[in-house]
Amino acid sequence: MRYYLFVLAILSMSGFTAIIVYSQENEYYFVRGKKLIESNCADCSGASKQGLNEGVALVNKAIDTGYKDTLSAYKLLADAYNTLTIVYSETGSSEHKRYSDARRFVYHRLLKLEPKNAQVWYEYAMTLTTTAEQIENLNIAIKIEPKYADAHYAVGMLLIDSGKLEEGIVEIESSLRYGDHNQVEKFANRLIDILYRLGRSEHAERIRIEINKRKSNNR
């Protein structure tokens, strides 16, 4: 009986040790992958597609071996696949499709983990290829966060590009109410340009005067 208990204790300790080692292993994969992804960003000096792919592989390995903070892992992968899709692959190529599909899969995972995260819905919308899908998902972001300036602006531009001028202008004007200083300046300049091209100079000037007044009040 004592021998049996001794053997059982040894086996239990061995299993516990294996769990610790396994946990340390997937933590190592994540930390190493995170470092590679962050040091191979689109604007990083010395960045490379190879380094970014190595980071992606390590973070995926961390997830596969049971890394617990899957939210952080998938956010890293989303950033990486955005860079691989936009910067490191040619539109229409098989590589671009592979990265795009992987990016979409990651965003689906993120939306399951954080269904009320407006930024994730916004970023996911930007990965889609049809105007209708983009607007649908951007509107989900706006429903979650009604003052999401970037989402209002994106919806506005999509509506204008699809010929729905009045609706688009209303959305961009909403972005002017909710955006920070830099956003407002960028969005207002774009809207003013659109209005001038439409021959609506009075409307454009009203926007310009309002933005200049807001600038003066913020000084």
Look at residue 2 and tell me whether its pLDDT is greater than 80. no
The whole-number pLDDT of residue 6 equals 41
Position 103 pLDDT exceeds 70: yes
CA distance 72 to 70: 6
Segment 194-206, tens digit of pLDDT: 999 999 999 999 9
Q: What is the mean pLDDT of the chain?
A: 90
**Which tokens belong to 117?**
């995260």
* pLDDT of res. 32: 96
**Model pLDDT, residue 4:** 46
pLDDT in tens, 17-71: 444 444 588 899 999 999 999 999 988 999 999 999 999 999 999 999 999 999 9
Cα–Cα distance, 10 to 173 (Å, whole number): 69
DSSP string for residues in the chain: -HHHHHHHHHHHHHHHHHHHHHHHHHHHHHHHHHHHHHHTSTT-TT--HHHHHHHHHHHHHHHHTT-S-HHHHHHHHHHHHHHHHHTSS-TTSHHHHHHHHHHHHHHHHHHHH-TT-HHHHHHHHHH-SSHHHHHHHHHHHHHHSTT-HHHHHHHHHHHHHTT-HHHHHHHHHHHHHH--HHHHHHHHHHHHHHHHHTT-HHHHHHHHHHHHHHHHHH-
125 half-sphere exposure, CB direction, 13 A CA radius: 24
